[in-house]
Structure 1
Amino acid sequence: MKELEEIKDCLIEMKNLSSLMVDLALSSVMYNSEEIAEEVYLLEEKIDELTLKVKKLALRAAKNLDDPESMLSVIEMATINEQISDSAYEIADIVLRDVEPHPIIRKIMHDVEEEIGRVKVHAGSILIGQTLKQLKLPSKIGVRLIAIKRGNRYIYNPSSDETIKEGDVLIAVGAGIDKLRELSNEKSEEEEELE
């Protein structure tokens, strides 16, 4: 049944999105980054769209099933993922509302070993045209890409065959985020102001 396949795809995307949102939300607070917090806001809107889509598909599918009540668990799963995304949004909203987190919150987050960053690939970057397999980012600079934002589309857990393009936004975890910024030809705000 076509609806069931679409539901499965939507739920997988929701799971990946809500997990990414939690990582980004915590990072936005840790680094007091409005940019990362705004990314969480955009993802939350996407989750809302997916939740509505899953509910509509589940209702359509229920009409053709001998046991229509079985679709209740699908709707419940979509609702739970939406609640996770809402919670991530509330965490990121601390930054967007310019609320100063208690020092203990930053202390807890700095004790987490993996840093997460959002890095845009600019013209002239040596990453452009390279596959993740060729780049070997985890072993060479100590970062792992958890998603690539290309235009309005997200590629989650990108495969080793994924090729980096100019304008891609790389969402990565690891100790080498600053090195990734260098390789991406990303300039600091100070450098951009001098130009």
Structure 2
Amino acid sequence: MKKLEEIRECLIEMKNISSLMVDLAFSSVMYNSDDIADEVYLLEEKMDELTLRVKKLALKAAKNVDDPESLLSIIEMATINEQIGDSAYEIADIVLRNVEPHPIIRKIMHDVEEEIGRVKVNKGSILIGKSLKQLKLPTKVGVRLIAIKRDGKYIYNPSRDEVIREGDILIAVGSGIDRLRELSNEKGEEGELIEEE
């Protein structure tokens, strides 16, 4: 049934978004980053849209199934993912409201979290036009891309064949975030080409 396939796709996207929101929310507090907190805010709006869509699709699908109550678990799953997103937003809101977290909070997160960064690929970046397979970011730069935001949409866990474009927002985790910023030409300077093996 087409509606059930749409519901499945929405729930997968909600799972990916909620996971990304939690990572970004903690990082926004850890590094006191308004940019990362703003990304959580945008994702929260997307999560609300998806929740409403799933509920509408489930109601429409209920008309054509023998046991409409079986669809309640779908609505519950969407609601739980939305609640996770809401909680992540509340964490990021600490940064957006300029509330200074207690030092122990950053200490705890520093001990358990890798650095997560939001990096924009600007004109002149040597990353543009190269696939993740060519760039070998985990080994050469020390970061792993967990998502790419492109034209307002997210590509989660991008494949090795994904090609970086100008204007992409890279959501990356690892120790080489500063190096990734240099390569992305965030300051409008020419980057140094990564050597090919």
TM-score tier, shorter chain, comes to: over 0.9
CA deviations 1:75-111 (Å, max 9, x no partner) are 0000000000000000000001111101100101111
Which sections of structure 2, spanning at least 5 residues, go unmatched?
A: 189-197
Deviation at residue 113 of structure 1 after TM alignment: 4.7
Q: Which residue of the partner structure matches residue 33 of structure 1?
A: 33
TM-score, normalization: structure 1?
0.95
The percent of aligned pairs where both chains have the same amino acid is: 83
Amino acid corresponding to residue 68 of structure 2 in structure 1? P
Equivalence map 1:16-165=2 (5 Å): 16-165=16-165
Q: How many Å separate the matches in 2 of 1:180 and 1:113?
A: 18
Q: Which residue of the partner structure matches residue 177 of structure 1?
A: 177
Deviation at residue 187 of structure 1 after TM alignment: 1.7
Q: Which runs of 4+ in 1 moved over 3 A?
A: none
Q: How many Å separate the matches in 2 of 1:151 and 1:7?
A: 23
TM-score, normalization: structure 2?
0.94
Amino acid corresponding to residue 42 of structure 1 in structure 2? L
Q: How many Å separate the matches in 1 of 2:158 and 2:83?
A: 25
**What is the number of equivalent residue pairs in this alignment?**
188
Deviation at residue 112 of structure 1 after TM alignment: 2.4
Change (3 A) 1:29 1:86: same
Q: How many Å separate the matches in 2 of 1:14 and 1:96?
A: 23
CA deviations 1:7-41 (Å, max 9, x no partner) are 00000000000000000000000011111101100
Q: Tell me the C-alpha RMSD between the 2 structures.
A: 0.9
Q: How many Å separate the matches in 2 of 1:83 and 1:112?
A: 23
SS of residue in 2 equivalent to 1:111:
helix
Which moved further from structure 2: 113-122 or 74-83? 113-122
Which sections of structure 1, spanning at least 5 residues, go unmatched?
A: 189-195
SS of residue in 2 equivalent to 1:100:
coil
Change (3 A) 1:46 1:113: closer
Amino acid corresponding to residue 151 of structure 1 in structure 2? D
SS of residue in 2 equivalent to 1:158:
coil
